[in-house]
Amino acid sequence: MTIQEEIRNLAQTRKAVILAHNYTRGEVQDVADYTGDSLELARKAATVDAEVIVFCGVYFMAETAAILNPGKTVLIPEPSAGCPMADMITGAQVRALKAEHPGAKAVCYVNSTAEVKAECDMCVTSGNAERVMATFGPDEEILFVPDQHLGGHISGLLGRTYTLWPGYCPTHQIITVKGIAEARAAHPGAPVLVHPECAKDVRAAADHALSTGGMCKFARESSEKEIIVGTETGILHRLRKENPEKTFYPVTERMICPNMKKTTLENLRDCLQEMKNVVVVPEPTATQARRAVQAMLAIG
């Protein structure tokens, strides 16, 4: 029996659904029930009919699934798969920020810990941030944590000023304006897609700043035959699989999130086999964090 067959058999026995982020290894995406961006996977986690959710991604994503599903068992194949950006702010730091800005609304990017979500009024993902942030009135003061780049991108789109926490993604910092210029020179005419976690000058040098789900949609719907992709290279697997007639070029092959690569077929099989690495978000944090995530899902 192949390891893929072992995993699928175990998933059936355990009544488990396997969710994989677009950045995970190709072989992990291929064995999963659903592959998607943070928003698509959070929505799936909120509605899926399974007793067990195995989250192949990073810890905050599995935590979000656990927050949304108090009655289900959420497993993560490799619990050390963290997100350095999510760890750039603590719950105590959000409390201190709110104390400095009484009356302000605190908004967290989904790339944050449960204790940070518990301090916030609203959560966003890169896939819905513009839509969700547009629901705040022009007079509302906004504190946006932890990603300065996503926050800066959305405030720019909406013509607003937010107080931005200086967090960032180390993987998306690898892309430079020079790298984009080199990719354009190598593939003339191909549009450049980058993730909103990229810095402002990089976003300005690109054609579109999109979530990973937005990139998949663009690739599907666009008539472009060649596309330059500025995000974690794991997404190329899905883009190429879904669009075999199109060619995708990474801005750089060096854009790898080491944590997203920690899920392997072996640790996925082992966690299902042993039902280990259960993600537990303690109370009252889980209940408090659920408000911000459900407020987001209610908007779309």
Could you list the residues that contact ligand SF4 (CB under 6 A)?
Answer: 58, 83-85, 111, 169-172, 197, 232, 257, 259-260
Residue 259 contact among ligand SF4, ligand 13P, none, beta carbon within 5 to 8 Å by kind: ligand SF4
Residue 259 interacting with ligand 13P (CB under 6 A): no
**Cβ atoms of residues 299 and 131 within 8 Å:** yes
Q: Minimum distance between the CB of residue 147 and ligand 13P, rounded to whole angstroms?
A: 9
Stretch 147-206 residues interacting with ligand 13P (CB under 6 A)? 169, 195, 197
Of 77, 91, 127, 179, the one binding ligand 13P (CB under 6 A) is: 127
Residue 38 contact among ligand SF4, ligand 13P, none, beta carbon within 5 to 8 Å by kind: ligand 13P
Give me the torsion for CA of 94, 89, 231, 174, rounded to 10°.
130
Residue 211 contact among ligand 13P, ligand SF4, none, beta carbon within 5 to 8 Å by kind: ligand 13P
| HSE, side-chain direction, 13 A CA sphere, residue 226 | 10
Of 16, 22, 28, 277, the one binding ligand 13P (CB under 6 A) is: 22
Residue 78 contact among ligand 13P, ligand SF4, none, beta carbon within 5 to 8 Å by kind: none
Q: Cα separation of 207 and 111, whole Å?
A: 24
Q: Write the burial class of residue 180 (CB in 10 Å: 0-12 exposed, 13-18 middle, 19+ buried).
A: buried
Residue placing its CB nearer to ligand 13P in the complex, 133 or 272: 133
DSSP codes of every residue in 70-85:
TTSEEE-S-TT---TT
Residue 35 interacting with ligand 13P (CB under 6 A): no
Through-space distance between the first and last CA atoms of the chain, rounded to whole angstroms: 41
Stretch that binds ligand 13P, among 26-34, 100-108, 121-129, 201-209 (CB under 6 A): 121-129
Q: Minimum distance between the CB of residue 12 and ligand SF4, rounded to whole angstroms?
A: 29
Q: Cα separation of 199 and 218, whole Å?
A: 21
Strands across the sheet containing 34-36: 34-36, 16-21, 52-56, 73-75
Q: Minimum distance between the CB of residue 228 and ligand SF4, rounded to whole angstroms?
A: 18
Q: Minimum distance between the CB of residue 170 and ligand SF4, rounded to whole angstroms?
A: 6
DSSP codes of every residue in 131-164:
HHHTTS-TT--EEEESBHHHHHHHHHHHT---EE
Residue placing its CB nearer to ligand 13P in the complex, 153 or 269: 153
The helix or strand, by DSSP H or E, that contains position 96, with its residue range, turns out to be helix 91-100
The helix or strand, by DSSP H or E, that contains position 20, with its residue range, turns out to be strand 16-21
Q: Which residues bind ligand 13P (CB under 6 A)?
A: 22, 37-39, 111, 125-127, 169, 195, 197, 211-212
